[in-house]
């Protein structure tokens, strides 16, 4: 066994079907009595439903969460925290709502209960990305790690199939990069492999039958494992590319991950053969077919496979290469401009990823 360092993140996980009914007990368990429920405008109805369930333990809702956690929205939510005298935050939704809860926790130290409804995995990380003046800045702090996560499979039944697929592949991306992380460890690698396998198994079933209870349960379980990977070890080239592309061209988060992932894996394949073989096995493919397996999964399930199709302008390729090669994240294969240009051009056009033998090392 190689030497390693592993940091366990303190969080309580409640997983199952119908677990929304347990949010009130979890609030009480934290010693709180004045919860503020957060959501996006689209999920306001769900937030109101939770408010009604919590009864006197809920002092209000703030249904204003939006993508990328803009500080202006956080300021408005902070005013609601003060007006209501809230003593804890309950975030019901995807990564955008969880992000708002984390931003409030950073500023107030209030405890958080998160009820995730997508597979993004933010609830399992001490990471917060915030946007100010059009610029997204990411930080890690134990202050933003939610105290409790209540996974209720029933709430994911309404996640539309296309968003389920891209959100699920977004989760897989966390696990893929954890397998070749410079600070990886055997515990996280085990979670990563199981997380990829659970999602790869579940997503085709969800596309065929969005209400499939077993598949929804597997996918949410996989999302937790993959989110735990993201929160535990360093992410590499794939996440760097997605931050650059998403931030520079305002591309949709989960779709960007879906398009880029096979190409990032192809780029790294020869430099991290053991990790990439584990990804391939988790996908049920031969050892050298990870990149193609991920590309096929997305294509088969009707997800976007080209950056062009999700809104990136062709004129942006030069800028993307420049930004992606500046201040690179730690990555198994060294970052070179020519290789990154080839990668971005292939992802832009929706080409199948290059096989490992032609990936340039």
Binding site residues, ligand NAD, CB under 6 A: 40, 42-43, 67-68, 93-97, 99, 117-118, 120-122, 125, 127-129, 155-156, 158-159, 163, 167, 230, 253-254
Minimum separation from the CB atom of position 102 to ligand NAD (A): 7
Which lies closer to ligand NAD via its Cβ, residue 246 or residue 356? 246
Which lies closer to ligand NAD via its Cβ, residue 72 or residue 336? 72
3-state secondary structure of 64: coil
Minimum separation from the CB atom of position 290 to ligand NAD (A): 21
Which lies closer to ligand NAD via its Cβ, residue 128 or residue 192? 128
Which lies closer to ligand NAD via its Cβ, residue 35 or residue 128? 128
Minimum separation from the CB atom of position 275 to ligand NAD (A): 21
Tokens of 143: 């202050």
Q: Which residues contact 203 (CB under 8 A, 6 or more apart)?
A: 164, 165, 168, 169, 215, 219, 297, 301
Minimum separation from the CB atom of position 300 to ligand NAD (A): 21
Q: Is the dihedral of CA 65, 69, 73, 75 positive or negative?
A: positive
Minimum separation from the CB atom of position 175 to ligand NAD (A): 13
Tokens of 115: 């009820």
Q: Which residues contact 134 (CB under 8 A, 6 or more apart)?
A: none
Tokens of 312: 């990136």
Minimum separation from the CB atom of position 7 to ligand NAD (A): 16
* Residue whose CB is nearest to ligand NAD in the complex, by number: 95
CA distances from 191 to 3, 49, 232, 271, 279 (A): 18, 33, 11, 22, 12
Which lies closer to ligand NAD via its Cβ, residue 74 or residue 96? 96
Using alpha carbons only, give the angle 8, 155, 95 rounded to the nearest 5 degrees.
50
Minimum separation from the CB atom of position 40 to ligand NAD (A): 4
Q: Which residue has the tokens 């390729």?
A: 317
Question: How many residues are there in the chain?
Answer: 361
Distance CA 319, CA 356 (A): 26
Q: Which residues contact 210 (CB under 8 A, 6 or more apart)?
A: 157, 159, 160, 161, 164
Which lies closer to ligand NAD via its Cβ, residue 24 or residue 94? 94
Which lies closer to ligand NAD via its Cβ, residue 277 or residue 307? 307
Which lies closer to ligand NAD via its Cβ, residue 156 or residue 342? 156
- Asked if 269 contacts 349 with a C-beta cutoff of 8 angstroms, the reply is no
Minimum separation from the CB atom of position 93 to ligand NAD (A): 5
Distance CA 81, CA 35 (A): 9
3-state secondary structure of 9: coil
* Phi (first) and psi of residue 185, to 5 degrees: -155, 160
Which lies closer to ligand NAD via its Cβ, residue 63 or residue 339? 63
Minimum separation from the CB atom of position 107 to ligand NAD (A): 16
3-state secondary structure of 269: helix
E strands present in the chain: 12-16, 35-38, 58-62, 88-93, 112-116, 127-132, 135-140, 148-152
Minimum separation from the CB atom of position 127 to ligand NAD (A): 4
Which lies closer to ligand NAD via its Cβ, residue 117 or residue 189? 117
- The number of CA neighbours under 13 Å toward the Cβ of 270 is 10
């Amino acid at each position: 066994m190689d030497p390693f360092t592993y940091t366990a993140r303190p969080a309580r996980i409640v997983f199952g079907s119908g677990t929304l009914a347990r949010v009130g007990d979890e609030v009480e368990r934290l010693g709180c009595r004045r919860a503020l429920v957060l959501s996006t405008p689209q999920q306001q109805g769900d937030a109101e439903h939770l408010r009604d369930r919590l009864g006197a333990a809920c002092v209000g809702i703030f249904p204003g969460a939006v993508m990328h956690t803009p500080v202006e929205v956080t300021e408005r939510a902070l005013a609601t925290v003060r007006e209501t005298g809230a003593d804890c935050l309950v975030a019901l939704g995807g990564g955008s709502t969880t992000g708002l809860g984390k931003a409030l926790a950073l500023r107030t130290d209030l405890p958080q209960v998160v009820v995730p409804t997508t597979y993004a995995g933010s609830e399992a990380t001490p990471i917060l990305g915030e946007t100010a003046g059009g610029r997204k800045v990411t930080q890690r702090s134990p202050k933003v790690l939610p105290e409790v996560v209540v996974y209720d499979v029933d709430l994911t039944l309404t996640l539309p199939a296309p968003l389920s697929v891209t959100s699920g592949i977004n989760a897989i991306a966390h696990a893929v990069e954890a397998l070749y992380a410079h600070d990886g460890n055997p515990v996280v690698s085990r979670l990563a492999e199981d997380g990829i396998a659970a999602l790869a198994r579940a997503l085709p079933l969800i596309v065929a039958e969005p209400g499939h209870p077993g598949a929804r349960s597997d996918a949410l379980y996989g999302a937790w494992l993959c989110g735990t990977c993201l929160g535990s070890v360093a992410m590499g080239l794939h996440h760097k590319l997605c931050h650059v592309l998403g931030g520079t061209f305002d591309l949709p988060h989960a779709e960007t991950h879906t398009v880029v992932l096979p190409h990032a894996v192809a780029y790294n394949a020869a430099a991290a053969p053991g990790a990439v073989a584990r990804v391939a096995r988790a996908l049920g493919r031969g050892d050298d077919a990870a990149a193609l397996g991920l590309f096929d999964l997305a294509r088969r399930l009707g997800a976007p496979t080209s950056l062009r199709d999700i809104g990136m302008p062709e004129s942006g390729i030069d800028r993307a290469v420049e930004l992606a090669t500046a201040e690179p994240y730690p990555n198994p294969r060294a970052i070179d401009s020519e290789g990154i240009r080839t990668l971005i051009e292939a992802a832009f056009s929706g080409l199948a990823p290059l096989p490992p033998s032609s990936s340039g090392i």
